[in-house]
């Protein structure tokens, strides 16, 4: 029997995807639930798994854009593995029978174990092209060319659209991280022992944003035609670096969460991002976004809005700097924070007030813990 494997739908509004890479060669014998290929949409990367065991026939080449529900390959379930494939299968079963310890998860960027798209060295020929047709001068020096992925193309379109369709401005402030560092150092071990998750920085920032949004609701508002929607809840998108690029999974109802619940949710979402298990439900519906360029060493930046949201908070690296406190110059761990916002909804006074309130909560975390202003 021939089984047709159709391209799955990543989400309700997505009609086209790209076959990024075949993980099994054409004509090979595959087993049920084997990962056959990676499929990339404008927001997520999916894996197509074999529905049954049999002989694989690939119908769509890599780096090809296809319609959702199009047949990508077939599996002949009447076929049987040859001797070499049978031996290989038995070897794989033996190797997975004794699993090795899993490495401890990390939110820092990881090198992908998936093969990168094939890169081709190209030497433009003057007889076939003109300077007006190429980004680079036509000489004998080699260049590398690779097709832009579906995800990268969509991100490019959205970034340009944000610039063209919003009145985006950015305001800055800086935070003395002394008290947060002291609290984390004092309670780190007990927090992890009690809740099974580390006490990171992000829970402090999420809670500070939630409290500040209660006072400045326009920072979480959304334009819908000629109306402004003010959500009475906070769904915070957290920018996470995955092997396919930056994704922004959403922490739902963050305003009602404890520090431990926030940290646990973020850890789970980050793990899912690294394993390409995020779905459209994880990536849509946020009301505010936090991005942390500090993990890459960024000292200061202007984060770009995540539409249709109206504001995004940028965290940056913590750096010891001299500051004046009570007339004395002291060294403190300081972080620049940035708020990019849509000036159509958020006035300058509100944006500055919102960011100042976030700073105040972060510099006195007991306000967050005790619920006092």
347 flagged as catalytic: yes
Q: Which residue in the list 26, 33, 281, 347 is annotated as catalytic?
A: 347
For residue 255 the two structure tokens come to 């305003």
Tell me the sheet residues that pair with 312: 289, 340
CB atoms inside a 10 Å sphere around CB 145: 9
CA 213, CA 210: separation in Å to the nearest integer? 5
Residues in the chain: 373
Here the tokens at position 332 are 């403190």
- Rounded CA separation 110/116 (Å): 14
Q: State the catalytic residues.
A: 343, 347
């Amino acid at each position: 029997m021939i089984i047709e494997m159709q391209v799955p739908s990543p989400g309700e509004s997505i009609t086209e995807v790209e076959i990024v890479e075949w993980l099994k060669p054409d004509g090979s014998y595959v087993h049920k639930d084997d990962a056959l290929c990676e499929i990339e949409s404008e927001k997520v990367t999916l894996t197509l798994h074999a529905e049954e065991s049999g002989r694989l026939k690939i119908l769509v080449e890599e780096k090809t854009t296809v319609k959702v529900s199009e047949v990508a390959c077939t599996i002949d379930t009447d076929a049987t593995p040859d001797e070499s494939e049978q031996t290989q299968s038995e070897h794989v079963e033996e190797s997975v029978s004794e699993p090795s310890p899993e490495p401890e998860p990390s939110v820092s960027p990881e090198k992908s174990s998936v093969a990168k798209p094939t890169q081709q060295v190209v030497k433009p020929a003057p007889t076939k092209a003109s300077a007006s047709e190429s980004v680079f001068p036509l000489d004998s020096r080699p260049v590398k060319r690779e097709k832009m992925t579906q995800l990268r193309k969509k991100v490019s379109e959205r970034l340009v659209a944000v610039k063209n369709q919003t009145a985006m401005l950015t305001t800055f402030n800086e935070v003395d991280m002394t008290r947060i560092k002291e609290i984390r150092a004092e309670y780190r071990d007990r927090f992890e022992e009690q809740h099974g998750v580390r006490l990171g920085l992000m829970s402090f920032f999420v809670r500070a944003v939630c409290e500040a949004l209660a006072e400045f609701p326009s920072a979480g508002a959304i334009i819908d035609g000629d109306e402004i929607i003010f959500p009475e809840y906070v769904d915070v998108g957290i920018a996470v670096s995955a092997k396919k690029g930056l994704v922004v999974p959403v922490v739902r109802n963050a305003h009602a969460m404890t520090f431990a619940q926030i940290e646990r949710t973020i850890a789970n979402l980050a793990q899912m991002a690294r394993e390409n298990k995020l779905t459209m439900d994880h990536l849509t519906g946020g009301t505010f976004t936090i991005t942390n360029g500090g993990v890459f060493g960024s000292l200061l930046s202007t984060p770009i809005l995540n539409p249709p949201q109206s504001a995004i908070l940028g965290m940056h690296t913590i750096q010891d700097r001299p500051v004046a406190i009570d007339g004395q110059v002291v060294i403190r761990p300081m972080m620049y924070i940035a708020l990019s916002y849509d000036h159509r909804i958020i006035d300058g006074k509100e944006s500055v007030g919102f960011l100042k309130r976030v700073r105040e909560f972060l510099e006195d975390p007991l306000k967050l813990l005790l619920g006092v202003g």
